[in-house]
Structure 1
Amino acid sequence: MTLHYWSTCGTCGEAMKVYKGGEEQLAHPRCEERPNYTQRLLRKFVAAASDSHHDRAGKIAAEIEELDARAPRLLEAALAYAEWDWPVFPCQTGGKTPLTANGFKDATTDPATIRQWWVRWPTANVGLATGHRFDVIDIDRPDGTWSWDALRDSDSVPPIHGVATTQASGTHLYIEPTGDGNLTKVRPGIDYRGIGGYVVAPPSVGEKGAYRWAVRPSPTIKRRKARR
C-alpha cells in the first residue's frame, strides 16, 4: 500500500497530494507558487550572494535573522485554527500543561474567548483538542521512528492530512477523525490522540525548540466557519 499525504495548495487553496515529503512542495505543479515574505527574502539573499553583492546579502541576512528572532504569533495562530473549526485552548509557556481549569475540555472556536485567554497569557502555547476535526498519530524519537517505518508500509494507516514536527524532534501526523479515544503505546514510541486528547500545535515553543508544519493541513480536516 502506498501511503498518501495531503496538504493545501498555497496558490489555489484546494487539496494537494504531496510528493517527496512535502517540505518543499507549496503548490500544485499546475499552479504558480505564491511565495511568502520569508521565502522571497531567502530568494533575494541567494541572488545577491550569487552576484557577489555582499553588502546587500548581508542586509537581507540580518532581516531574516530579525524575523527568526521574533516571538511566535500565538494568538494569530489560535484564531486561524478556530476559523478552521479546530477547538483551541491555552497551554503553559514553553510547555504542554493546560492553563484553563478544565484543560482541553475548555477548548473552543469562539474568537472572543480565545482573545481573552491570550490577553491574559500572551505567550501561552496553543493546544488543540483532538477527536473533533482530526485525530493525531504521535511519534516520539527514537523508538517511534523505527515503529513508524514498519507501520507505514502496512495497510492500516489512513491518508495523512498534515504533518507537524514537535519541539523534541517528534512528529504529529494529522488524520481524519475516527471516533476512537486515546491509545498509548500503539507501538513502541507511538501514541494515538483521539476523543479526549489534545496536542500542542505550531507555532508553539518548547524547551528544545518550536513546533512547525512540515506538511500544511489539507482542506479535508479544515472547515471554514460561516460568518454571521
Structure 2
Amino acid sequence: MNAALQKEIPGAATPGTCELLKSRSEIIHPDPSQFSPMTQEKALRDELIFWALAYAKRGYPIYPINIDGTPLVDWNGVTTPESKVREWWGKFPFAMIGMSVGLWSGIWCLKVKDRNTLESLKRSGWAIPEKVVEIVTPLDELMFLFRPEQNFDQIRGSIAPGVHVFGTGDFVLLPPSRPALGGPDYFLEEGQELEVGQLV
C-alpha cells in the first residue's frame, strides 16, 4: 500500500482560461452573519450552481446530495451534462455537490480524520502523493483526491483508524458544499493553484 500511495500521480485536468484560485478566501463568501437570511440563501444558491457547473464543464461526474448525505438523484454517468446540473440545482438549490469516485471518474480519495492522524501515517512510512487536491471538511477532516496509475479499489474502505479510501461505488462531497446554511463548508486547502472547477 505504501508503494502505491507514494507513486506520483499523472497530470491534472486540462487547464482552461479561468482565473487561478490560490486561497480559500477566493472561493467562499464573507462571514454569513453579515447578511440577512434571504441574502445568505441567495448567495449559497448562486455559489453552489456556479461550482456545480464548473465541475461538470471539466468532465467530472457530479450530482446533488441531500444534507443527510444521501443522493437526491440516481446518476451513473461518467460525466454530467450542463443541462442536468441546471435541472437538478433548479429543483434542489441547496443540494451539496457529490462526485462519483473510483472507476467512474478515475479519481480516488484518501480521507484522514485530522492532521494528527496524518502525521501518524507519515511516521508509519506513508507518503501522500505530490499531485493531489486537498479538501477540508466542515469537521476539519482532510480529503486528498488523486488519480492513480492503477485501480485503487483493492484497498477501498477503512485501512487504519481514522483513515479511509473511497473508490468505485462511493462519492465524495466537493467545495463549496455546506451541510447547513450559515455553517462551515467544504473548502480547498490554501496554497493550491487551481483553476475554477479543477480537481485532478
Aligned length: 174
- CA pair 65-151 structure 1, distance change in 2 beyond 3 A: same
Which residue pairs with 2:57 in the alignment? Answer: 83
Distance (whole Å) between structure 2 residues aligned to residue 96 and residue 63 of structure 1: 23
Q: Secondary structure at the match of 1:210?
A: coil
Alignment of 1:82-121 (within 5 A): 82-92=56-66, 94-101=67-74, 105-106=76-77, 108-121=79-92
TM-score for both structures, normalised by structure 1: 0.60
Q: Secondary structure at the match of 2:44?
A: coil
User: What amino acid sits opposite 2:151 in the alignment?
Assistant: G
Which residue pairs with 1:130 in the alignment? Answer: 101
Q: Give CA-to-partner distance per residue, 1:24-73, whole Å, 9 cap, x none.
A: x939xxxxxxx95989xxxxxxxxxxxxxxxxxxxxx9999349943251
- CA pair 118-107 structure 1, distance change in 2 beyond 3 A: farther
Does structure 2 retain, via aligned residues, the 8 Å contact 1:161–1:217? Answer: no
Please, which of 145, 150, 157 is the counterpart of residue 128 of structure 2? 157
Q: Secondary structure at the match of 1:196?
A: coil
Distance (whole Å) between structure 1 residues aligned to residue 160 and residue 31 of structure 2: 44
Q: Give CA-to-partner distance per residue, 1:117-161, whole Å, 9 cap, x none.
A: 1111111110011122421111124xxx43311223525432242
Higher relative contact order (CA 8 A, sep 6+): 2
Q: Percent identity?
A: 20
- CA pair 162-77 structure 1, distance change in 2 beyond 3 A: same
Distance (whole Å) between structure 2 residues aligned to residue 209 and residue 183 of structure 1: 28
Kindly name which structure, 1 or 2, has the bigger radius of gyration based on alpha carbons. 1
Which residue pairs with 1:213 in the alignment? Answer: 188
Does structure 2 retain, via aligned residues, the 8 Å contact 1:159–1:175? Answer: no
Flag structure 2 segments of 5+ consecutive residues without an equivalent.
1-5
Which residue pairs with 1:49 in the alignment? Answer: none
Q: Does 1:166 align with 2:137?
A: yes
TM-score for both structures, normalised by structure 2: 0.68
Q: Does 1:148 align with 2:118?
A: yes
Flag structure 1 segments of 5+ consecutive residues without an equivalent.
16-24, 28-34, 40-60, 224-228
Does structure 1 retain, via aligned residues, the 8 Å contact 2:22–2:193? Answer: no
Q: Give CA-to-partner distance per residue, 1:160-196, whole Å, 9 cap, x none.
A: 4211111222111111234222622211111001222
Distance (whole Å) between structure 2 residues aligned to residue 38 and residue 114 of structure 1: 20
Distance (whole Å) between structure 1 residues aligned to residue 55 and residue 193 of structure 2: 10
Which residue pairs with 2:160 in the alignment? Answer: 187
Distance (whole Å) between structure 2 residues aligned to residue 127 and residue 37 of structure 1: 17
Which residue pairs with 1:26 in the alignment? Answer: 22
